[in-house]
Amino acid sequence: MPGNHGRIDLEALNPPQRQAVTFGSGPLVVFAGAGSGKTRVITYRVAFLAQEMLEASRGILAVTFTNKAAREMRERLLHLLPDSHRVVVGTFHSVSARLLRAFAPQLGMPRDFVIYDDADQRSMLQRVVRELGLDERRFEIRSLAASINRAKQEALLPDEVEVGDFYSEIVQKVYRSYQSHLQRAGAMDFGDLIFRLVHLLEGDEVLRQELSHRFQFLLVDEFQDTNRVQYRLLRDLCSSHRNLCVVGDDDQSIYRWRGADRENILQFRREFPDAAVIKLEQNYRSTQRILRGAHAVIEHNRSREPKRLWTENEEGDPLVVLPCRDERDEARLIVSSIREMSAGGHALSDVAILYRVHAQSRVLEEALRAQNLPYRIVGGTRFYDRSEIKDLLAYLRLVHNSEDDVALLRIINVPTRGIGKTTLEKIMRSAAERGGGVWQGLVGLQEYEPSLRKAAREKVEHFVELIASLRKAYSAGLGLGELGQRILDATSYVESLRREDSAEADARIQNLQEFIASLHDFEREHPEEGLGNFLEWVSLESDARAVETQDSLTLMTVHAAKGLEFPVVIVAGMEESLFPYFTSEGIIDEEELEEERRLAYVAFTRARERLMLTYAETRRLFGFMKVSTPSRFLRDLPEGDTYWVSWQRNPSPSSRPQVLGRQPSGFDGRTRCSEDETQGSYIDWSEGQEEGVFRLGARVRHPRFGEGKIQAIDPGTPPRVTVSFPQWGTKQIVASYLQPA
């Protein structure tokens, strides 16, 4: 807080923070570790520069990535700097829009140009595709939009787009026409806001110098998340003075999939070789054990700035590693652990459950709803509310009931099959005049709408045939899971998403695969019930959502958790191929693996007091069941700071965990589900197995872990043995997975 004379209190800062705040003119890199007071440093530095160094008639520009971060920075500055009219704080897009409106005529644009959102962009691209006579099924609108957006992130004009095949030629052609349409409409999309400003500045030396002089100091938060065009903008805006301060943490660079370029840090060091470097390594958030665990994972990355977080906080509880039988066991154990923590004094809002992919939320949500635990999903949508899930549900509803007009209208052109708005309006009007539903209008198309063009009629007839064939197949005994898969295959829904070639599309595909798994699960658990029962169950699941009160759990992907913190963090699914995540082709290179480590580092450092990590020995995800191995990140954890839970059978209906290492406070381990809840998760010990094969000290072989030695035997159901493996340590394994060595 400022003192009596309006000066900021530098004594509130530690020495490196103070050094960063009071640094004078010239380029500056601040490596700000997780929980190191980064926002405080940025706001204090802005206030210090405004009070001590800012020349008359010049200003300060502070840029961040989100409106939330910008609001927080402004609010803090109001307390530190009452007279802040010469300080501009905003996101890259808001700052660019503000500057562009001042110079729009130089681009041939009105000052009040319209900004198109994603939906507007897709609508315009659809128009362009039709004007060019392209097949919308072959050239998906979303895929074209993604390609154009990537080009703008690289600051590439249409004629600069690399052309190597027929598709890229089409992209270039569409991009060129799309930009012409935007120009005529007096509009810009989000990508244009930065892209066109950069080209304006780099094509006009006088203007570049003018704007560079306007802002005497530039500061950018989360610099590790900038893409190429954002970096060029920063460089242009400081071209006359070089007073650029970049703040970030290369260990938290996790957005490569959406254009973030870690090379920007290296490029900055090359272009500003005299830049001062300050490291903020004191953490104010987490316990010492949590920080040691996070560092043990991230230190394996080679391409990082050497740094190590430390704290004066207490040692804290050990990290808890909780093995689970399968994903349902995992969900139940997490819920039970949360209930224990709640009984021990933690509010539900203290707890965040993080997962690597969106699809993991399904089973977790079902377990939470079963126990009436309120929750909210940050940065995403509840599983059955996701658009792709609603689409597939609409197909199932239409198979179940052809008179379901809402479902029909939702998916008649999803994925795109060329049935336009005009065609639909004609059909609906004819159906209404005859007192029938939309389906009847489709079936009686020849009779009711003879004037409809042949091409339009054929597309409608193809859709009717599709639904009729699905209904016939289900009536003939096709299972629910098979029905769902047939819908995806027959509509080419997944293929249409793959053509988008984006991380968002990949996540939607995974959600669809997980939905197919939910159909199989329902069949297996309710063999006497059918499609109508499943649709009813989903409706009840959707409607039975717990009210999101202030005291509710938080669920989110690790990506969405960036910048947040919680007293308790549970990271689910710490398994090879899930976290670190392997695509179907596997991890391609070391760079991708390093990003996964950074993602784990971000996940761990969200926790203030307690960190629990779970993994399943078998997992059904995306419709596939497989035996899992614990994540390599778990093997990195410091032995003295980690508490592995082992399971031991009791004569009672419930089992109780046997803990290895010091037990965390408030964790009594009463988290094992009853036997009847978990029966069938594992293969039983083969009846013909020779006696004495699984005896103490015997050598056995596991398909993943290799050869090991039996340390303990649990003759429960199913039998489990504790085996010591030279390369993997001690594991408790279902006996049927082992063979004599």
Catalytic center residues: 38-39, 221-222, 252, 606
Q: CA nearest 32: which of 560, 561, 563, 633?
A: 563
DSSP state of 685: P
Query: Using CA atoms, how far apart are residues 209 and 72, in angstroms rounded to an integer?
Result: 30
Distances (CA, A) of 82 to 6, 51, 90, 216: 9, 11, 18, 20
* Amino acid occupying residue 421: K
Instruction: List the structure tokens of 268.
Output: 């900055």
Are the CB atoms for 26 and 104 separated by under 8 Å?
no
Query: Using CA atoms, how far apart are residues 47 and 21, in angstroms rounded to an integer?
Result: 9
Are the CB atoms for 269 and 617 separated by under 8 Å?
no
Instruction: Please state at what angle helix 205-214 crosses helix 228-237, rounded to 10 degrees.
Output: 80
Q: CA nearest 72: which of 64, 61, 82?
A: 64
Neighbouring residues of 119: CB distance < 8 A, sequence distance ≥ 6: none
N- to C-terminal Cα separation, the chain: 68
**What is the chain's length?**
741
Dihedral (CA of 104, 105, 106, 108) sign: positive
Three-state secondary structure readout of 72-128: HHHHHHHHHCCCCCCEEEEEHHHHHHHHHHHHHHHHCCCCCCEEECHHHHHHHHHHH
Query: Using CA atoms, how far apart are residues 252 and 230, in angstroms rounded to an integer?
Result: 18
Residue 556 pairs in a beta bridge with 354
Distances (CA, A) of 140 to 130, 145, 418: 12, 9, 12
